[in-house]
Amino acid sequence: MKITKESYQLMYFFTKNNCINPLKQTKKTDSIIVKLYHEILNGVSFIQNLKSKMGSNFYKLKITHIHNINQIPKPSTFPPNSFPSPIRKHIDENIFSLLSYSFHIYGRDIEIFFVTEESNPENLIELYNNYVDIMLVWLFIINDYSSRNCATTLKIYIYHTNLLKKLPETNIHILDENNINTAFTRTCPKNSEIVVFRKEEWFKAFMHETFHNFALDFSDMNNSSCNSKILSIFPVKSEVNLFESYTEFWARIMNTLFCSYTIMKNKNDINELLDNFEFFINFERSYAFFQIVKILHFMDMSYTDLYEKNIKSEIIRNTFYKEKTNVLSYYVITLILLNNYQDFLSWCNLNNTSLLQFKKTTSNLDSFCKFIEKKYKTRNLLENIECTEKLLNKTNKKYQTKKDLNFIMKNLRMTVCELG
């Protein structure tokens, strides 16, 4: 796997235009990142050894050419309307092939279905095998953190559609799952299914959904008290779903780690890994600021309108802030966590049952909410918002004449670094 051209396009843009000062990592942060890096190494070693032992029997790959809709595999535990309607229609009309893999691994029966728009998947077997390898490495890691009661059987559907997450043409349209979402699952059923319905950011989305599915977040807790606290800070019309922010933060951290590992020349050089991680995570911080400023600009709002108690801001947010999916949690609250990623990694290390597994107590949930309350309008965050607003305005003026900025100005993806 390698970094995609879209990732390089974003990195080039922020290298030329970034106004946000990069953070230097502390030794405490380095120690957490190194711990996770060693878990990746252990996962890679485990999968390599298993492949050596099993040889050609490892993948149990079956390729099917799709000739009619009935051949397209669909999840059995979700209704058809779980997919956004345009996505469902696109899948039914544009899928040509299926690559199926099956494993008994980590005490679980796992099936992986890559449902693709490729007409000749035989030419891409090595690439898809690499995709499977990195998925199994992640499952190796998460298996040690999760409950054995979750996902004793797991079917993973990866629909590699070419549909991108992007802003609508006008703000008459309310942002919904067709603009923002990539995947879905449920929390901790024994017979589990994970569905990813875009090629864009598919691996990050897969990791995000495993957090839900393996019950590492707190989606199975009563969140009402914490949601009320968040809505007292940001009094907007939102379901909040704060567990999405926790999950998305960790998906971005792990995605950054896998990107950092992938480009290493020497896979055993800890310093190279740390340098790569610091390089990528600062791009992710800058990008998170750009995305929320862009979304709020689309709504004719600014960040301070989300929380200021004056009459003007109240009218603006009551009139213009609308969401039909988790905009607040994915873009606003995750930004707060990512801007303070070192503090939040330390918080997780100190307060969680284990580094990734959220400690499911009322007091821990309250502590998480207080973390957000403490960080949502720090001087650093507001300065970064302000400089990003200036960058967006400058870029928007160029965009009127330079259509090559279309991707920068319209996309709603959540990460800079993408492996493909």
pLDDT exceeds cutoff 90 at 147 = no
pLDDT exceeds cutoff 90 at 18 = no
pLDDT, mean of residues 100-126? 97
Q: CA neighbours within 13 Å on the CB side: how many for 314?
A: 4
Question: Given the structure tokens 């480009």, which residue do they identify?
Answer: 263
Kindly report, residue by residue over 151-169, the tens digit of the pLDDT.
999 999 999 999 999 999 9
Kindly report, residue by residue over 21-72, the tens digit of the pLDDT.
999 999 999 999 999 999 999 999 999 999 999 998 999 999 999 999 999 9
Q: What is the mean pLDDT of the chain?
A: 96
In sign, the C-alpha dihedral spanning 34, 39, 45, 47 is negative
For position 398, what pLDDT does the model report? 85
Range of the domain at 179: 5-410
pLDDT, mean of residues 73-101? 96
pLDDT exceeds cutoff 90 at 14 = yes
| pTM of this prediction exceeds 0.95 | yes
Q: Return d(Cα 40, Cα 257) in angstroms, integer.
A: 9
Please answer whether residues 307 and 376 qualify as being in contact, where contact means their C-beta atoms are separated by less than 8 angstroms: yes
Q: Return d(Cα 411, Cα 175) in angstroms, integer.
A: 13
Neighbour tally for 226: CB within 10 Å: 22
Q: Return d(Cα 267, Cα 260) in angstroms, integer.
A: 10
Whether 210 is in a domain gets the answer yes
Q: Is 68 exposed, middle or buried (0-12, 13-18, 19+ CB in 10 A)?
A: exposed
Domain count, the chain: 1
Structure tokens at 355: 């580094």
Q: What share of the chain is helix, strand, coil (3-state, %, to 5)?
A: 60, 10, 30
Whether 49 is in a domain gets the answer yes
pLDDT, mean of residues 294-318? 98
Kindly report, residue by residue over 385-406, the tens digit of the pLDDT.
999 999 999 999 888 767 689 9
Whether 415 is in a domain gets the answer no
For position 116, what pLDDT does the model report? 98
Kindly report, residue by residue over 172-205, the tens digit of the pLDDT.
999 999 999 999 999 999 999 999 999 999 999 9
Q: Return d(Cα 191, Cα 201) in angstroms, integer.
A: 25
Whether 104 is in a domain gets the answer yes
Percent of the chain topping pLDDT 70? 99
pLDDT exceeds cutoff 70 at 220 = yes
Phi, psi of 184 (to 5 degrees): -155, 160
| Residue 283: partners with Cβ closer than 8 Å, 6 or more residues away | 10, 11, 14, 416, 417
Dihedral, CA of residue 330, residue 336, residue 342 and residue 348, to nearest 10? -60
For position 404, what pLDDT does the model report? 80
Q: Return d(Cα 318, Cα 95) in angstroms, integer.
A: 42
Whether 416 is in a domain gets the answer no
Quote the distance between the C-alpha of residue 299 and its chain's center. Answer: 23
Q: Is 10 exposed, middle or buried (0-12, 13-18, 19+ CB in 10 A)?
A: buried
Instruction: Please report how the helices 341-351 and 362-375 are oriented relative to each other, as an axis angle in degrees rounded to 10.
Output: 170
Whether 141 is in a domain gets the answer yes
Length of the chain: 420
Q: Return d(Cα 351, Cα 339) in angstroms, integer.
A: 19
For position 401, what pLDDT does the model report? 66
For position 7, what pLDDT does the model report? 97
Name the helix (H) or strand (E) containing 115.
strand 108-116
Whether 417 is in a domain gets the answer no
Please answer whether residues 419 and 258 qualify as being in contact, where contact means their C-beta atoms are separated by less than 8 angstroms: yes
β-strands 153-160, 191-196: how paired? parallel
Question: Given the structure tokens 């058809």, which residue do they identify?
Answer: 80
